[in-house]
Protein backbone atom coordinates (compact mmCIF):
# COMPACT_ATOMS: atom_id res chain seq x y z
CA UNK A 1 0.00 0.00 0.00
CA UNK A 2 2.81 2.41 0.95
CA UNK A 3 4.71 1.65 -2.26
CA UNK A 4 1.56 2.30 -4.32
CA UNK A 5 0.99 5.58 -2.49
CA UNK A 6 4.60 6.62 -3.16
CA UNK A 7 4.22 5.73 -6.84
CA UNK A 8 0.99 7.77 -7.09
CA UNK A 9 2.76 10.69 -5.45
CA UNK A 10 5.66 10.42 -7.91
CA UNK A 11 3.25 10.35 -10.83
CA UNK A 12 1.47 13.43 -9.46
CA UNK A 13 4.78 15.24 -9.06
CA UNK A 14 5.72 14.42 -12.66
CA UNK A 15 2.56 16.13 -13.90
CA UNK A 16 3.24 19.32 -11.95
CA UNK A 17 6.04 21.83 -12.50
CA UNK A 18 8.11 21.98 -9.33
CA UNK A 19 11.26 23.83 -8.34
CA UNK A 20 13.10 20.50 -8.34
CA UNK A 21 12.02 19.80 -11.93
CA UNK A 22 13.04 23.27 -13.11
CA UNK A 23 16.43 23.14 -11.41
CA UNK A 24 17.17 19.66 -12.77
CA UNK A 25 16.21 20.74 -16.29
CA UNK A 26 18.17 23.99 -16.37
CA UNK A 27 20.97 23.54 -13.85
CA UNK A 28 19.99 26.88 -12.33
CA UNK A 29 19.69 27.06 -8.55
CA UNK A 30 17.73 30.32 -8.60
CA UNK A 31 14.45 30.17 -10.56
CA UNK A 32 14.75 33.87 -11.39
CA UNK A 33 17.96 33.11 -13.31
CA UNK A 34 16.17 30.92 -15.88
CA UNK A 35 15.86 32.65 -19.26
CA UNK A 36 15.00 29.73 -21.55
CA UNK A 37 12.96 26.66 -20.70
CA UNK A 38 11.82 23.67 -22.73
CA UNK A 39 9.35 21.29 -21.05
CA UNK A 40 7.96 19.55 -24.11
CA UNK A 41 5.89 16.37 -23.92
CA UNK A 42 6.17 15.67 -20.18
CA UNK A 43 2.46 15.14 -19.45
CA UNK A 44 2.32 18.38 -17.45
CA UNK A 45 -1.16 19.45 -16.38
CA UNK A 46 -0.27 21.81 -13.51
CA UNK A 47 2.09 24.75 -14.15
CA UNK A 48 2.94 24.87 -10.44
CA UNK A 49 5.74 27.31 -9.66
CA UNK A 50 6.50 28.37 -13.26
CA UNK A 51 5.36 31.88 -12.31
CA UNK A 52 8.45 32.27 -10.12
CA UNK A 53 10.66 32.27 -13.24
CA UNK A 54 9.94 35.96 -13.68
CA UNK A 55 12.86 36.54 -16.10
CA UNK A 56 11.84 33.86 -18.57
CA UNK A 57 12.12 35.01 -22.19
CA UNK A 58 11.43 31.78 -24.11
CA UNK A 59 9.17 28.97 -22.94
CA UNK A 60 8.17 25.74 -24.69
CA UNK A 61 5.31 23.80 -23.04
CA UNK A 62 4.09 22.01 -26.17
CA UNK A 63 2.67 18.50 -26.10
CA UNK A 64 1.37 18.48 -22.52
CA UNK A 65 -2.07 18.41 -20.82
CA UNK A 66 -2.25 22.04 -19.69
CA UNK A 67 -5.64 23.71 -19.25
CA UNK A 68 -4.98 26.56 -16.77
CA UNK A 69 -2.53 29.31 -17.78
CA UNK A 70 -2.93 31.45 -14.65
CA UNK A 71 0.70 30.98 -13.42
CA UNK A 72 1.99 32.51 -16.67
CA UNK A 73 0.48 35.92 -15.84
CA UNK A 74 3.61 36.97 -13.94
CA UNK A 75 5.98 36.30 -16.86
CA UNK A 76 6.06 39.85 -18.21
CA UNK A 77 9.41 39.43 -20.01
CA UNK A 78 8.27 36.41 -22.00
CA UNK A 79 8.74 36.99 -25.75
CA UNK A 80 8.35 33.49 -27.22
CA UNK A 81 5.73 31.02 -25.94
CA UNK A 82 4.86 27.63 -27.41
CA UNK A 83 1.66 26.10 -26.00
CA UNK A 84 0.80 23.88 -28.97
CA UNK A 85 -0.87 20.49 -28.47
CA UNK A 86 -2.39 21.09 -25.03
CA UNK A 87 -6.01 21.42 -23.78
CA UNK A 88 -6.26 25.20 -23.48
CA UNK A 89 -9.51 27.09 -24.04
CA UNK A 90 -8.87 30.26 -22.02
CA UNK A 91 -5.99 32.61 -22.95
CA UNK A 92 -6.95 35.35 -20.49
CA UNK A 93 -3.80 35.12 -18.27
CA UNK A 94 -1.60 35.92 -21.26
CA UNK A 95 -2.91 39.49 -21.43
CA UNK A 96 -0.25 40.36 -18.82
CA UNK A 97 2.62 38.99 -20.90
CA UNK A 98 3.14 42.38 -22.51
CA UNK A 99 6.41 41.47 -24.27
CA UNK A 100 5.02 38.49 -26.18
CA UNK A 101 6.12 38.56 -29.81
CA UNK A 102 5.70 34.94 -30.84
CA UNK A 103 2.76 32.82 -29.61
CA UNK A 104 1.87 29.28 -30.72
CA UNK A 105 -1.44 27.85 -29.46
CA UNK A 106 -2.11 25.44 -32.34
CA UNK A 107 -3.73 22.16 -31.32
CA UNK A 108 -5.86 23.42 -28.43
CA UNK A 109 -9.56 24.06 -27.69
CA UNK A 110 -10.00 27.71 -28.61
CA UNK A 111 -13.55 27.85 -29.95
CA UNK A 112 -14.27 31.43 -30.96
CA UNK A 113 -12.81 34.80 -31.90
CA UNK A 114 -14.09 36.11 -28.54
CA UNK A 115 -11.49 33.87 -26.87
CA UNK A 116 -8.79 35.96 -28.57
CA UNK A 117 -9.97 39.42 -27.51
CA UNK A 118 -7.94 39.22 -24.30
CA UNK A 119 -4.75 39.30 -26.41
CA UNK A 120 -5.49 42.59 -28.17
CA UNK A 121 -3.44 44.47 -25.57
CA UNK A 122 -0.29 42.57 -26.66
CA UNK A 123 1.06 45.31 -28.94
CA UNK A 124 4.30 43.47 -29.69
CA UNK A 125 2.64 40.26 -30.89
CA UNK A 126 3.71 39.75 -34.51
CA UNK A 127 3.86 35.97 -34.97
CA UNK A 128 0.72 34.06 -33.99
CA UNK A 129 -0.16 30.45 -34.73
CA UNK A 130 -3.61 28.90 -34.26
CA UNK A 131 -3.06 26.01 -36.63
CA UNK A 132 -0.08 24.06 -37.90
CA UNK A 133 -0.64 21.92 -40.98
CA UNK A 134 2.73 20.23 -40.54
CA UNK A 135 1.56 18.42 -37.42
CA UNK A 136 -2.17 18.63 -38.19
CA UNK A 137 -2.73 20.90 -35.18
CA UNK A 138 -5.67 23.29 -35.22
CA UNK A 139 -8.39 24.93 -33.08
CA UNK A 140 -12.18 24.94 -33.49
CA UNK A 141 -12.05 28.69 -34.23
CA UNK A 142 -10.14 27.93 -37.44
CA UNK A 143 -13.27 26.38 -38.95
CA UNK A 144 -14.65 29.89 -39.32
CA UNK A 145 -13.87 30.89 -42.91
CA UNK A 146 -13.33 34.53 -41.94
CA UNK A 147 -11.22 33.95 -38.85
CA UNK A 148 -7.95 34.90 -40.57
CA UNK A 149 -9.19 38.32 -41.73
CA UNK A 150 -10.77 38.97 -38.32
CA UNK A 151 -7.56 38.06 -36.49
CA UNK A 152 -5.50 40.35 -38.74
CA UNK A 153 -7.92 43.17 -38.07
CA UNK A 154 -7.61 42.60 -34.33
CA UNK A 155 -3.80 42.58 -34.49
CA UNK A 156 -2.65 45.32 -36.90
CA UNK A 157 1.05 44.66 -36.14
CA UNK A 158 0.83 40.98 -37.10
CA UNK A 159 3.55 39.88 -39.54
CA UNK A 160 3.09 36.10 -39.57
CA UNK A 161 -0.15 34.20 -39.01
CA UNK A 162 -0.24 30.39 -38.95
CA UNK A 163 3.25 30.28 -40.41
CA UNK A 164 2.35 32.45 -43.41
CA UNK A 165 3.77 35.95 -43.83
CA UNK A 166 1.07 38.57 -43.96
CA UNK A 167 1.23 40.22 -47.38
CA UNK A 168 2.41 43.81 -47.27
CA UNK A 169 3.52 43.66 -43.63
CA UNK A 170 7.11 43.46 -42.50
CA UNK A 171 8.27 43.66 -46.12
CA UNK A 172 8.99 47.41 -46.32
CA UNK A 173 12.65 46.96 -45.39
CA UNK A 174 13.09 44.15 -47.92
CA UNK A 175 11.55 46.25 -50.70
CA UNK A 176 13.69 49.26 -49.75
CA UNK A 177 16.89 47.19 -49.91
CA UNK A 178 15.80 45.72 -53.23
CA UNK A 179 15.12 49.18 -54.67
CA UNK A 180 18.50 50.42 -53.49
CA UNK A 181 20.21 47.37 -54.98
CA UNK A 182 18.43 47.81 -58.32
CA UNK A 183 19.36 51.50 -58.40
CA UNK A 184 23.02 50.76 -57.69
CA UNK A 185 23.11 48.10 -60.40
CA UNK A 186 21.42 50.39 -62.90
CA UNK A 187 24.00 53.10 -62.23
CA UNK A 188 26.90 50.69 -62.60
CA UNK A 189 26.36 50.11 -66.31
CA UNK A 190 26.82 52.42 -69.30
CA UNK A 191 26.02 51.30 -72.84
CA UNK A 192 25.68 47.76 -71.55
CA UNK A 193 29.18 47.76 -70.03
CA UNK A 194 30.07 47.64 -66.35
CA UNK A 195 31.58 50.97 -65.32
CA UNK A 196 34.61 50.67 -63.05
CA UNK A 197 35.04 53.12 -60.20
CA UNK A 198 38.59 52.71 -58.85
CA UNK A 199 38.03 55.05 -55.89
CA UNK A 200 34.65 53.60 -54.99
CA UNK A 201 34.52 51.88 -51.61
CA UNK A 202 31.89 49.41 -50.39
CA UNK A 203 29.22 50.94 -48.16
CA UNK A 204 29.99 48.34 -45.47
CA UNK A 205 33.10 46.35 -44.60
CA UNK A 206 33.61 43.00 -46.34
CA UNK A 207 32.89 40.96 -43.22
CA UNK A 208 29.88 43.08 -42.18
CA UNK A 209 27.28 40.47 -43.12
CA UNK A 210 29.12 37.50 -41.60
CA UNK A 211 27.43 35.91 -38.59
CA UNK A 212 29.71 35.95 -35.58
CA UNK A 213 29.30 33.62 -32.64
CA UNK A 214 28.88 35.18 -29.22
CA UNK A 215 28.95 34.19 -25.59
CA UNK A 216 25.57 35.87 -25.18
CA UNK A 217 23.03 33.32 -23.94
CA UNK A 218 20.22 34.85 -26.00
CA UNK A 219 22.20 34.54 -29.24
CA UNK A 220 23.23 30.99 -28.39
CA UNK A 221 19.60 30.06 -27.85
CA UNK A 222 18.69 31.71 -31.16
CA UNK A 223 21.25 29.51 -32.94
CA UNK A 224 19.78 26.47 -31.24
CA UNK A 225 16.23 27.44 -32.22
CA UNK A 226 17.36 28.02 -35.81
CA UNK A 227 19.05 24.62 -35.95
CA UNK A 228 15.86 23.00 -34.64
CA UNK A 229 13.89 24.65 -37.45
CA UNK A 230 16.43 23.48 -40.04
CA UNK A 231 16.18 19.95 -38.67
CA UNK A 232 12.38 20.00 -38.95
CA UNK A 233 12.65 21.34 -42.51
CA UNK A 234 14.96 18.49 -43.45
CA UNK A 235 12.52 15.97 -41.97
CA UNK A 236 9.64 17.54 -43.91
CA UNK A 237 11.72 17.46 -47.09
CA UNK A 238 12.50 13.77 -46.58
CA UNK A 239 8.82 12.98 -45.97
CA UNK A 240 7.77 14.93 -49.05
CA UNK A 241 10.40 13.20 -51.20
CA UNK A 242 9.23 9.82 -49.96
CA UNK A 243 5.56 10.59 -50.67
CA UNK A 244 6.38 11.90 -54.15
CA UNK A 245 8.48 8.84 -54.88
CA UNK A 246 5.73 6.47 -53.72
CA UNK A 247 3.11 8.37 -55.73
CA UNK A 248 5.21 8.32 -58.90
CA UNK A 249 5.85 4.60 -58.46
CA UNK A 250 2.14 3.95 -57.94
CA UNK A 251 1.19 5.99 -61.01
CA UNK A 252 3.82 4.20 -63.07
CA UNK A 253 2.46 0.79 -62.05
CA UNK A 254 -1.09 1.86 -62.89
CA UNK A 255 0.01 3.10 -66.30
CA UNK A 256 1.82 -0.15 -67.01
CA UNK A 257 -1.20 -2.23 -66.00
CA UNK A 258 -3.42 -0.20 -68.34
CA UNK A 259 -0.98 -0.79 -71.22
CA UNK A 260 -1.00 -4.52 -70.60
CA UNK A 261 -4.80 -4.50 -70.41
CA UNK A 262 -4.98 -2.90 -73.86
Number of compact structural domains in the chain: 2
Q: Is residue 37 part of a domain?
A: yes
Confidence of residue 10 (pLDDT cuts 50, 70, 90): very low
Confidence of residue 168 (pLDDT cuts 50, 70, 90): low
CATH number at residue 150: 3.80.10.10
* End-to-end CA gap in the chain: 74
Confidence of residue 188 (pLDDT cuts 50, 70, 90): low
The pTM of this model reads: 0.63
pLDDT tens figures, 121-151? 999 999 999 999 888 999 999 999 889 999 9
Q: Is residue 38 part of a domain?
A: yes
- Residues 93, 33 share a domain: yes
- Residues 224, 138 share a domain: no
pLDDT higher than threshold 90 for residue 71:
yes
Query: Which has more confidence, 11 or 75?
Result: 75
d(CA 233, CA 131): 17
Q: Closest Cα to residue 92, out of 115, 123, 75, 108?
A: 115
- Residues 137, 59 share a domain: yes
Q: Is residue 143 part of a domain?
A: yes
pLDDT higher than threshold 80 for residue 217:
no
Q: Domain of 237? A: 215-262
Q: Is residue 180 part of a domain?
A: no
Q: Is residue 176 part of a domain?
A: no
- Residues 256, 139 share a domain: no
- Residues 146, 237 share a domain: no
Amino acid sequence: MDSKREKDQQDADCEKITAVLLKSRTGEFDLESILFLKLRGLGICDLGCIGECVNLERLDLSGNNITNLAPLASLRLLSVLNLSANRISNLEPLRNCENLQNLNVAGNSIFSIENLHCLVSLRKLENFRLKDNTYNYTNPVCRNSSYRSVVLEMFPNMKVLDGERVVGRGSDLYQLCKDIDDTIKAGSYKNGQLVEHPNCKPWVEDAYWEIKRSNNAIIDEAYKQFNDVLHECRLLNNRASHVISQTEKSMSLKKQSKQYAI
